[in-house]
Structure 1
Amino acid sequence: MGNWQAYVGTSLVGTGHVSQGAIFSLDGQEWASSPDLHITQDEANRIIAALNGETKAKDQLFSKGLFLAGQRYVMARCEDRTIYGRTGRGGAAIAKSKQAVIIGIHNEEMMAGNASSTVESLADYLIDQGH
């Protein structure tokens, strides 16, 4: 695979629909992220557990909130391969591919639907590439 950082810069933030982004492996290792986004291993592991269908992990995200870089997001949805969270007028869209979790954060000036489409499109592309 090429440079994961380029996906964050071009396919996420570069679209104008995501203000910060990150890509993690399914074992919770950070592959790339925006320079000012510091998602912890614990935060990533909770997301991965929920995306892997662990009921307890999903329940905790709904009851306690989704945390990304210490910022709390209210869970809006958690499905088979996607998670959506809101904080004020901003939010986060998360999608899982075969080998990675793509995280896109949008600020209050960005449309949640556009951010979600951007994150899901990158996940679809990575799946098509075998990732």
Structure 2
Amino acid sequence: MSWQVYVDQQLLGSGKVKEAAICSLEGNIWARSAGFEASTEELKKLVATFQHTQDAAQNGLFLGNKKYFFLRSTEDTVYGKWGEDGFVAMQTNICLIVAIFTKPVSAAECATAVGRIVDYLKSAGY
């Protein structure tokens, strides 16, 4: 299965994700949905947030030149908000999955869709 299939069928197909991408931990995009416009630099900063949240907490996070407020993070998940919309980013050993959701979808619903793929990838050694 290609990376694009995960984006198209598992993320967008869930109905809980508006835009999504899968990228390397260096910010290189492997697959993305139409409309996902985050740059390599923005994705690198997002990956860095998993280790150092202070900058994101003070300055927010940018995806596609849109500034999201940093909400919180865990060991492998970062949450951001922009108005009533937001994003969930989760990482595996080799990649980052970023999913943008819009109202009426909640962060928890989006995180469940992303988490399914992350759990599968981690179990497969990715």
| TM-score, normalisation: structure 2 | 0.95
Counterpart of 2:17 in structure 1: which amino acid? V
2:121 to 113, 120, 126: 126
Unpaired runs of 5+ residues, structure 2, are none
Q: Which residue of 2 aligns with 1:3?
A: 2
Secondary structure of 1:17's counterpart equals: coil
Unpaired runs of 5+ residues, structure 1, are: none
Aligned to 1:20: 19
The separation in 2 between residues aligned to 1:94 and 1:121, in whole angstroms, is 13
* Residue in structure 1 matched with residue 56 of structure 2 by the alignment: 61
Q: What is the number of residues matched between the two proteins? A: 126
In structure 1, the residue corresponding to 2:37 is in which secondary structure? Answer: coil
Shift of residue 15, structure 1, vs aligned partner: 0.2
C-alpha offsets along residues 69-126 of structure 1, whole Å, 9 cap, x if unaligned?
1111111112211000111111100100111100010012212210011112211111
Q: Distance in 1 between matches of 2:28 and 2:47?
A: 11
2:75 equivalent to 1:80: yes
1:11: Cα distance to partner?
Answer: 0.9
% identical equivalent positions:
29
Aligned amino acid, residue 79 of structure 1 = T
| Runs of 4+, deviation exceeding 6 Å | none
